[in-house]
A and B are shown apart, each in its own frame.
Chain A
Amino acid sequence: MIIQEYDIIVIGAGPSGIAASVTSALNGAKVLIVDSNFDTGGQVYKPPPDTFQEIKKNYSTEIKIQKYHKKLLEEHGVHIALEHTVWQVSKGFQIYAFNNRNKKISWKCKTLIVATGTYERIIPFPGWTSPRVIGLAASTTLLKSHRVLPGYNTIVAGCGPLLAVVASGIIKAGGHVKAVIDLNGPFSWFSSISSMLTNPSSLIQGIGWLKDIIFSRTPIYFNSIVKEVINHKNELEINITKINSKGLINTENIIKINADSLCIGHGLIPSLDILTILGVKKFFDFQSASWLAKTDKYFQTSVNNLYIVGDGAGISGAVPAYEKGLLAGHSASLNLNFISHKYFQRITKKIFVKLKKFEKFGKSMAKLMTPPSGLIQNITDDTIICRCEDIKRGEIEKAIKSGAIEINQLKAWTRCGMGPCQGRTCEDTIARIMADHVGDRQTVGMFARKMPIKPIPMDCAVGDFKYEDIKKVEEAPL
């Protein structure tokens, strides 16, 4: 296996990762940016593949930004490793990845900048694992990159700005949105407008989304949730009901709507997998109801020369993510003596001003994405929580009663979180359920993260080998 060395490696080629790489390269560092997707852009600026010629010509703002960002990377000599999945990061920043042709590669760096973004939160309900029920964030990938509609008749449900993004995206692409089901009320949207005013471009974008939805006369159900989905042969029967401000179902009235697809999501969770493996200190952030890494104001973690940028450092959206990347890039360059302290002070001062301004809007949007804690109480005992291992709420409750008050003990006793998603899908829900019994999320804790960071194909990991090639170890005593 060839090992290449870099000053700085950035994992994740979204806006923050790109900003960090370009800045560091501009400051003189030898930089590599790694991403598992086929192109740069991350989730927000995810482009269609090159083979989609016609669409690529028809530039959207997002594609324009993606192209501009990629040009920046190339112009500043940042090495780009696309279609590479990082599966292990060891101390001293040795990074192991495999590409889409199952070839292994390893790099080493002095500074590691993690820009792996977030993953999606879906609070389970009966039927959520049915085919044609997909996440809101996943739907944006379908719409933006794959250029496929989720269905002919779609219901869009959950909370936060992605509701409007997905609904408007479907309508624009010629699809039909049967209804939008919003956890929040209209009031919480209006209260976010004040922060939108600080950022005119976001405001215009937001108004655009709402315009699409209102003009298409899509019914919007506020303060409502999907109570259950029943999977019929060609159709989903979606039962909708009202909730109170705590998230609890407060009525027996149910509205039934049939559709062939449901896009649903309850916000985003910062991805801390790599950081946890490297032993970074974390804290539970009550505002966003998620764990975050402790960092300095330049996003350096408690482990020297390890940074977290973008939404992974706290959700505030793509625009501030870029500024976070710039700050980390400069701080990393300073630590490696590529720039002077004076220059660093001067340049970062300006970035902080911008970041503060952009974050206002992003943070108010993030607030809309945080589901109320009571929502968890609506989950019935026979609802699947861990979909990899088919573990239902009832089994989790039983294990808690038997004495599992810490999430890793619960994992061992029930197998929840042991499957191929490595706990990413169910951890938040399980922790919320446990916190209801134990009192707080700190006592419940987080799933221990182990390598591989992503499941690695065995044939790729073992490579071509003969019996003689296998490492010799001391034989077991007799």
Chain B
Amino acid sequence: MIKKTRYDVVVIGAGIMGCTTALHLAKSGMSTLIIDKGKICREASGVNAGTLTIHMTRAQLIPFAIKGWELWMNTNKWLGEDIEIVKTPGLCLAFTEADEELLVQRSKERIKQGASIKLISKKEALNIEPSLSQNIRMAAFCEMDGFVSAYKTGLVFSKAFNKIGVEVIENEKIEIVENSDKFFVLKNIKNNFFVEANNIVLAGGVWLEEMLKWFQINISIKCLPQQLIVTERVNKILNSVITIANGKLSLKQFLNGTVLIGGGWPGLRDMKNDKFETIHENFIGNIQLACYSIPALKTSRVVRVWGGLEAETKDAMPIMGQIPNIDNAYVIGSFHSGYTSGPYVGYLMAQMILGNEQKNQNLFSLSRLL
């Protein structure tokens, strides 16, 4: 049950972007409601690998990822809650000559954008991470890396929202948004749910395409169903986050001993049941790469494979800002490695709505995609 009939702002989509936006708006004194068609942070923001690596971030988004990383490391300051964060170095590996070339080129691009990455020899890499395969030729090293237990994202935001007074409505799918002159009306007629909002933020991840149609905006947002794999608890074999030159592997060991294997290998999305399906060959390929990088992994067992849905626009760059020609309506999403930059871009979104942010105003504007 909601407490008011009208809110200063209603955020639709309770993932990392929507949640941080809501949090900062509420802190500035706005009455804030966040609505999700499911549970808080149970899609991409709750099921992703939680990798806070710079080695996999798109070069142009590095400044946002760095700011995001810093915020993740200090959640206590802005979220008022601790989330299980582990700060480790990150190693990006090359196994072939072609890999080396790719690694050098990609690292250079990232360094240009402000990442402090340095290239190191096989020997240096093995010193940092003794369980690495002898087959590596070189590696890129970055001090700034680490990971979060992403599945706890919803828990910490729930607690923070309780304290700050952000209202949360779960399991409510908004189906209609009407735009009167002064405010918006959000509805689910079947459930008899109505709420009014002075400002509205769309933060619906892969569902943004559908949501933008409320404002007669038709853009295509691709849904990338990405595979994640976790092992049972094993003895400590990893001290760092491991990635590879082409970006198709991420590996790290959580404090409880489980090893999480990611890298964005595609699975299938069963649209009817909204379920993720594994592609057998991609499961095998992903774990082969993992075992090739860290041979000790071969003695573990795989306990679970699941998927998360990443959203991608036509030019694979994010959307953030006002919805063209609709006053007080905003949209945020489609950030590659969005979990890392989430806390920062959510903050930026809030600042834009509050009128405090000029610099990034048109950087990721929706109008470029129209």
Chain A 440-471 interface 0/1 with B at a Cβ cutoff of 8 Å (1 = within)? 00000000101110011111011101010111
Chain A 406-423 interface 0/1 with B at a Cβ cutoff of 8 Å (1 = within)? 101101110100111010
User: How many chain B residues touch the partner (CB < 8 A)?
Assistant: 62
Q: Is the C-beta of A174 less than 8 angstroms from some C-beta in chain B?
A: no
Pairwise interchain contact A461-B287, C-beta atoms closer than 8 A: yes
Q: Is the C-beta of A252 less than 8 angstroms from some C-beta in chain B?
A: no
Pairwise interchain contact A476-B247, C-beta atoms closer than 8 A: yes
- What's the count of A-B pairs with C-beta under 8 Å? 131
Pairwise interchain contact B282-A469, C-beta atoms closer than 8 A: no
Q: Which residues of B sit under 8 angstroms from A279, Cβ to Cβ?
A: 270, 273, 275
Docked CA distance A90–B270 (Å): 12
Pairwise interchain contact A477-B336, C-beta atoms closer than 8 A: yes
Docked CA distance A420–B285 (Å): 22
Q: Residue of A at shortest CB range from B247?
A: A476
Q: Residue of A at shortest CB range from B150?
A: A412
Docked CA distance A314–B241 (Å): 46
Q: Is the C-beta of A399 less than 8 angstroms from some C-beta in chain B?
A: yes
Pairwise interchain contact A458-B297, C-beta atoms closer than 8 A: yes
Docked CA distance A465–B291 (Å): 10
Q: Is the C-beta of B42 less than 8 angstroms from some C-beta in chain A?
A: yes
Known: A452-B302, A475-B248. A462 touches B288 (CB 8 A): yes
Pairwise interchain contact A471-B281, C-beta atoms closer than 8 A: yes
Question: How many whole Å from B259's CB to the nearest CB in chain A?
Answer: 10
Q: Is the C-beta of A195 less than 8 angstroms from some C-beta in chain B?
A: no
Interface residues of A in 372-410 (CB under 8 A from B): 389, 399, 402-404, 406, 408-409
Question: How many whole Å from B283's CB to the nearest CB in chain A?
Answer: 8
Pairwise interchain contact A409-B285, C-beta atoms closer than 8 A: no
Known: A415-B256, A470-B292. A91 touches B301 (CB 8 A): no
Q: Which residues of A sit under 8 angstroms from B288, Cβ to Cβ?
A: 462, 465, 469-471
| Listed residue (A91, A415, A458, A459) with the most chain B CB atoms within 10 angstroms of its CB | A458
Pairwise interchain contact B232-A455, C-beta atoms closer than 8 A: yes
Known: A90-B277, A96-B280. A402 touches B158 (CB 8 A): yes
Pairwise interchain contact B291-A477, C-beta atoms closer than 8 A: no
Q: Which residues of B sit under 8 angstroms from A461, Cβ to Cβ?
A: 283-284, 287, 302
Task: Specify the main secondary structure of chain B where it touches its partner.
Answer: mixed
Q: Is the C-beta of B342 less than 8 angstroms from some C-beta in chain A?
A: no
Chain B 101-133 interface 0/1 with A at a Cβ cutoff of 8 Å (1 = within)? 010001001000000000000000000000000
Q: Which of B154, B265, B304 contacts A473 (CB 8 A)?
A: B265
Chain A 278-299 interface 0/1 with B at a Cβ cutoff of 8 Å (1 = within)? 0100000000000000000000
Pairwise interchain contact B300-A477, C-beta atoms closer than 8 A: no
Docked CA distance A389–B265 (Å): 28
Pairwise interchain contact A476-B302, C-beta atoms closer than 8 A: no
Q: Which residues of B sit under 8 angstroms from A2, Cβ to Cβ?
A: none
Chain B 212-236 interface 0/1 with A at a Cβ cutoff of 8 Å (1 = within)? 0000000000000000001111000
User: How many chain A residues touch the partner (CB < 8 A)?
Assistant: 44
Docked CA distance A452–B39 (Å): 25
Known: A455-B232, A457-B301, A478-B58. A389 touches B281 (CB 8 A): no
Known: A413-B152, A470-B288, A478-B59. A458 touches B300 (CB 8 A): yes
Docked CA distance A96–B266 (Å): 20
Q: Is the C-beta of B159 less than 8 angstroms from some C-beta in chain A?
A: yes
Pairwise interchain contact A458-B155, C-beta atoms closer than 8 A: no
Question: How many whole Å from A418's CB to the nearest CB in chain B?
Answer: 7
Pairwise interchain contact B305-A450, C-beta atoms closer than 8 A: yes
Q: Which residues of A sit under 8 angstroms from B278, Cβ to Cβ?
A: 88, 90, 451
Pairwise interchain contact B304-A476, C-beta atoms closer than 8 A: no
Pairwise interchain contact B304-A458, C-beta atoms closer than 8 A: no
Pairwise interchain contact B265-A409, C-beta atoms closer than 8 A: no
Q: Which of A96, A389, A409, A456 contacts B39 (CB 8 A)?
A: A409
Pairwise interchain contact A473-B266, C-beta atoms closer than 8 A: yes
Docked CA distance A110–B332 (Å): 46
Q: Is the C-beta of B1 less than 8 angstroms from some C-beta in chain A?
A: no
Question: How many whole Å from B151's CB to the nearest CB in chain A?
Answer: 4
Interface residues of B in 140-169 (CB under 8 A from A): 151-152, 154-155, 158-159, 162, 168
Docked CA distance A419–B102 (Å): 37
Q: Which residues of B sit under 8 angstroms from A475, Cβ to Cβ?
A: 102, 246-248
Q: Is the C-beta of B46 less than 8 angstroms from some C-beta in chain A?
A: yes
Pairwise interchain contact B336-A473, C-beta atoms closer than 8 A: no
Docked CA distance A470–B292 (Å): 9
Known: A420-B303, A457-B301, A467-B95. A412 touches B287 (CB 8 A): no
- Pick the 6 closest A-B CB pairs, nearest first: A476-B247, A471-B285, A475-B246, A412-B151, A455-B301, A459-B298
B: residues with CB less than 8 A from A are 39-40, 42, 46, 56, 58-59, 95-96, 102, 106, 109, 135, 151-152, 154-155, 158-159, 162, 168, 230-233, 246-248, 256, 258, 263-266, 270, 273, 275, 277-278, 280-285, 287-289, 291-292, 297-306, 316, 336
- A-B contact list, 10 entries, CB within 8 Å: A90-B277, A404-B155, A408-B39, A420-B301, A420-B303, A451-B305, A458-B287, A459-B291, A465-B292, A475-B102
Beyond A418-B304, A471-B281, 20 extra complex contacts between A and B, CB < 8 Å = A96-B280, A408-B39, A409-B42, A415-B151, A415-B256, A418-B258, A422-B303, A452-B302, A458-B291, A458-B299, A458-B300, A458-B301, A459-B298, A461-B284, A462-B291, A465-B292, A467-B96, A471-B284, A478-B58, A478-B109
